[in-house]
Amino acid sequence: MSDPRTIPNPRTFRERFGALRTLRPFLAMVWSISPRLMAGSLALRLVRALVPIAGLYIGKLIIDDVVHLVQMPDRPVSFEAWLASGHLEWLGVLLLAEFGVAVVGDVLLRFVGLTESLLAEQVTNGSSVRLMEHAATLDLEDFEDAEFQDQLERARRQTSGRLTLMGQLFAQAQQAVTIVSLIVGLFVFAPLLILLLAVALVPAFLTEAHFNARTYSLDFGRTPERRELDYVRQTAASVETAKEVKIFGLHGFLIDRYRRLAGDFYAANRALAIRRAAWGSVFTTIGTVGYYAAYGYIVWRTLHGDFSIGDLTFLSGSFLRLRTMLENLLFGFSSVAGQALYLNDLFSFFRTRPEILSPANARPFPHPIRDGFVFEDVGFAYPGAERWAVRHLSFTLRAGEVVALVGENGAGKTTLVKLLTRLYDPDEGRILLDGHDLREYDLEALRGSMGVIFQDFVRYNFTAGDNIAVGRIEARDDHARVERAAERSQADQVIEALPHGYEQRIGKRFKNGVELSGGEWQKIAIARAYMREAEVLILDEPTAALDARAEFEVFQRFKELSRGKTAVLISHRFSSVRMADRIFVLADGKVEAQGTHEELVAQPGLYAELFELQAAGYR
């Protein structure tokens, strides 16, 4: 775990409160999500902000009137006489007014809670959607970077982790209005009390700000460990890992690892919490001393005859309320500044921009493809890698032909597919489609015209029909198209055996889900490529879990159904790739040889060597 002493910490208050600039985009985001709820909440809080000063002032008037009535030399002796005298009329009005203020305050509190709970839920949903929408625009390179994963994790936590900030900001605005009204009242009677408040509260405020910044620094620096903690917890208790955890007896190892990570988190938090509590106690005591000094001053002025009993009640109540509210406001402001540091995680994620984009005036994807794809001296290295994944890669993928890619692991086969689909752009050279650089075409149309199934395809815990429909999700309601895709990949036989057919949820994550075998999952995944009905079909070793006969049937069907389309298939089984029109042999990121199966077997080289090794295994 990261050493807390080495985690960067905002050093100056300017740096610590610089994060407050994120409040503006945060409030703008809240307003854009639900302007009516936000405006309603602020209006309710504004009215409620005036309730305390109104209650205190009415209380002062009541006490002054009671003292006046008590001091009357010829005051009535019975309740009936008091009523008959008319002396209680004004007191009755004041009591009704105080009752009305109390009722209004309680009702407003309920409506504020209702409004902000609804707004908080909408903000959580809206910010989560915005995060997903933005993530969808980013490059694959971003998602394959560990630092970006840390950034994404921090941003994801803020979509729901900052719900209290919104209510706190609104409460701060309400308190500010109340405080202004109380200060005006105190200033009229005793301006010195305002100075005493400042002396008592500012040191505590600065201390709180310091510890908020330290807390953020610890959380920021521990993001990688937090992700590991979540990963270990998920690995120790999930359906995807349960078999191996039990067979290999990993539960002890995983639990110990979790305890160690969690223990480090606890130790760091405990040390910070102890220091925060100690210093907080010191400055809270200072604030209490300041309050009682002011209270003594008010009592002395009352004894001196400067204040009435009502004034004493009003001033002592106002000062106590003002001290509490100012303390909450200053500490709340410090807390807001601390939470704004976390908000920066969310908005810095939103500031991340993709590099792979559609150009202005992008070319439409050709339908049909006329000439095909040409790789011209293409070179590419993954970010941070020390070696090239492919380099000096030159070949032609002609329109309408089926090409197979063969090579040992790490030869660059999957990298080539990623370049073809513009998940990455080449670092050197270029890829042409019908004579134009691939980067000139509309990106969405380019990817929408390619049906790709990778070997590590996703097993969606959706219905069987939706698992196929993700291949062209906008056609999800086209059941005939879904069924046609299933029939082409032979997944229809799998689905017919399910209790609820295409409506059956598959996978064991949710209740009533049915798990499939690896081969059955692969047929479902291959159906996604057919669902796409794309110009280009690419199968990147998606049949590894199928037996030899099933794979042969899948690829035989693939060749038949891809007639007239440009197709690429990757497989280690030579019985499957031999049906391709041409075979490219990749080694060390280059095309070592190309030709038909018969041509490549007949000449010395990697293909013939690998074919012989595989054939020997069946003898």
| 251: pLDDT strictly greater than 60 | yes
5 domain residue, yes or no: no
Question: Pairing between strand 372-380 and 428-433?
Answer: antiparallel
The pLDDT tens digits of the residues spanning 490-549 come to 899 999 999 999 999 998 877 888 988 888 888 898 898 888 888 898 888 766 666 667
| 243: pLDDT strictly greater than 70 | no
| 108: pLDDT strictly greater than 60 | yes
Residue 592 and residue 472 share a domain: no
| 440: pLDDT strictly greater than 90 | yes
Greater confidence (199 vs 263) lies with 263
Q: Supply the pLDDT for residue 78.
A: 78
Residues 6 or more apart whose CB falls under 8 angstroms from that of 85 comprise: 76
Identity of the residue numbered 292: Y
Residue 283 and residue 161 share a domain: yes
414 domain residue, yes or no: yes
Residue 232 and residue 184 share a domain: yes
Q: Give the pair of three-digit tokens for residue 515.
A: 């798990």
Q: For residue 110, what are the CA distances in angstroms to 48, 49, 54, 303, 547? A: 11, 14, 19, 41, 65
| 221: pLDDT strictly greater than 90 | no
Helix (H, G, I), strand (E, B) or coil at 464: helix
Residue 367 and residue 289 share a domain: no
79 domain residue, yes or no: yes
Greater confidence (118 vs 153) lies with 118
Greater confidence (538 vs 326) lies with 538
For the chain, the distance separating the N- and C-terminal CA atoms, rounded to the nearest angstrom, is 53
Residue 307 and residue 227 share a domain: yes
Residue 565 and residue 466 share a domain: no
Q: How many domains does the chain have?
A: 3
Confidence category of residue 437, pLDDT binned at 50, 70, 90: very high
At 522, which CATH number?
3.40.50.300
Domain boundary among 350, 385, 407: 350
Greater confidence (589 vs 544) lies with 589
Q: Supply the pLDDT for residue 267.
A: 81
Q: Supply the pLDDT for residue 618.
A: 56
* Mean pLDDT of all residues in 239-261: 71
169 domain residue, yes or no: yes
Greater confidence (96 vs 322) lies with 96
* Mean pLDDT of all residues in 305-330: 69
Closest listed residue to residue 571, CA positions, set 599, 539, 611: 539
Q: What is the pTM of this model?
A: 0.65
CA 472, CA 531: separation in Å to the nearest integer? Answer: 6
192 domain residue, yes or no: yes
Of the given ranges (216-225, 260-269, 380-389, 417-426), which has the lowest mean pLDDT? 216-225
For 210, the enclosing helix (H) or strand (E) is helix 192-221
**Contact (CB, 8 A) for 424 and 140:** yes
The pLDDT tens digits of the residues spanning 65-81 come to 887 787 788 777 777 88
| 97: pLDDT strictly greater than 50 | yes
* Mean pLDDT of all residues in 453-458: 81
Q: Supply the pLDDT for residue 446.
A: 92
Confidence category of residue 186, pLDDT binned at 50, 70, 90: low
CA 287, CA 190: separation in Å to the nearest integer? Answer: 19
* Mean pLDDT of all residues in 266-278: 80
Identity of the residue numbered 166: M
Greater confidence (305 vs 594) lies with 594
Confidence category of residue 434, pLDDT binned at 50, 70, 90: very high
Beta-strand runs (E) in 124-205: none
Confidence category of residue 323, pLDDT binned at 50, 70, 90: low
| 42: pLDDT strictly greater than 50 | yes
At 233, which CATH number?
1.20.1560.10
Greater confidence (169 vs 291) lies with 169
Residue 558 and residue 514 share a domain: no
Helix (H, G, I), strand (E, B) or coil at 512: coil
Residues 6 or more apart whose CB falls under 8 angstroms from that of 556 comprise: 579
| 558: pLDDT strictly greater than 80 | no
23 domain residue, yes or no: yes
Of the given ranges (144-158, 350-364, 390-404, 492-506), which has the lowest mean pLDDT? 144-158
Q: Supply the pLDDT for residue 1.
A: 36
| 128: pLDDT strictly greater than 70 | yes
Q: Supply the pLDDT for residue 504.
A: 93
* Mean pLDDT of all residues in 185-212: 65
* Mean pLDDT of all residues in 101-115: 88
What DSSP character marks residue 600? H
% of residues, the chain, pLDDT over 70: 79
| 479: pLDDT strictly greater than 90 | yes
Confidence category of residue 432, pLDDT binned at 50, 70, 90: very high
| 619: pLDDT strictly greater than 60 | no
Identity of the residue numbered 439: R
Residue 540 and residue 506 share a domain: no
Residue 369 and residue 505 share a domain: no
Residues 6 or more apart whose CB falls under 8 angstroms from that of 201 comprise: 287, 290, 323, 326, 327, 330
398 domain residue, yes or no: yes
Q: Count of alpha carbons within 13 Å of 248, Cβ hemisphere only? A: 10
Confidence category of residue 197, pLDDT binned at 50, 70, 90: low
Domain boundary among 533, 560, 579: 533
Residue 544 and residue 506 share a domain: no
Greater confidence (351 vs 317) lies with 351
For 96, the enclosing helix (H) or strand (E) is helix 89-137
Q: Supply the pLDDT for residue 460.
A: 87
Q: Supply the pLDDT for residue 212.
A: 67
619 domain residue, yes or no: yes
| 615: pLDDT strictly greater than 80 | no
Q: Supply the pLDDT for residue 373.
A: 94
Confidence category of residue 199, pLDDT binned at 50, 70, 90: low
Q: Supply the pLDDT for residue 439.
A: 94
Greater confidence (54 vs 304) lies with 54
| 277: pLDDT strictly greater than 90 | no
Q: Give the pair of three-digit tokens for residue 545.
A: 């879990």
* Mean pLDDT of all residues in 165-181: 75
Residue 583 and residue 514 share a domain: no
Q: Average pLDDT, whole number, for the chain? A: 80
Residue 565 and residue 549 share a domain: yes
Domain boundary among 505, 533, 561: 533
Domain extent at residue 69:
13-350
568: left (phi over 0), alpha (psi -120 to 50) or beta: beta
